[in-house]
C-alpha cells in the first residue's frame, strides 16, 4: 500500500493515513485541517517570544548551524591529518631511497 501522508504545519506533525481504513480518510483529513487552524490561532495569541518560530525553529536552526560548523572543522582536521601523513611518508620514502644508495 502506498503511504498517504498529509503535510503538517510547524508544530503540527504530518498525518500518516497509510495504515487507516480509507473510509476514515475524509474525516481524519478534516480533523487534521481543523487542528492546524486551531494551532495557528493559538500561535497568534502567544507573546512573540513564545511562538514556535522563535523557540523551536530557532533551536533547530542553531543545531543545524552547529552541525555544519562541526562538519567543517572535521573536514579541516581530516585534510590536515592527510597532509601530515603525506609529509611523513614522503620523508620515509626519501630515507629509504637514501639508504638504498649508501
Query: pLDDT tens, 36-49?
Result: 999 999 999 999 88
8 A C-beta contact, residue 15 and residue 29: yes
- pLDDT tops 60 at residue 56: yes
pTM of the model: 0.57
Q: Return the closest-CA partner of residue 71 out of 61, 82, 83, 79.
A: 79
Q: What mean pLDDT do residues 69-94 have?
A: 93
Mean pLDDT score, 48-72? 89
Please tell me the predicted confidence (pLDDT) of residue 34.
Answer: 95
Question: What's the CA dihedral at 24, 28, 29, 30 to 10 degrees?
Answer: 110
Mean pLDDT along residues 54-83: 92
Q: Cell digits for 35?
A: 487542528
Mean pLDDT of the chain: 90
Cell 487542528 locates to 35
Amino acid at each position: 500500500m502506498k503511504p498517504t501522508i498529509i503535510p503538517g504545519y510547524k508544530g503540527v506533525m504530518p498525518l500518516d493515513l497509510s495504515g487507516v481504513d480509507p473510509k476514515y480518510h475524509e474525516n481524519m483529513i478534516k480533523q487534521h485541517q481543523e487542528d492546524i487552524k486551531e494551532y495557528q490561532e493559538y500561535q497568534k495569541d502567544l507573546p512573540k517570544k513564545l511562538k514556535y518560530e522563535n523557540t523551536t525553529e530557532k533551536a533547530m536552526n542553531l543545531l543545524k548551524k552547529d552541525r555544519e560548523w562541526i562538519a567543517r572543522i572535521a573536514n579541516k582536521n581530516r585534510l590536515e591529518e592527510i597532509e601530515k601523513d603525506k609529509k611523513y611518508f614522503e620523508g620515509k620514502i626519501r630515507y629509504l631511497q637514501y639508504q638504498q644508495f649508501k
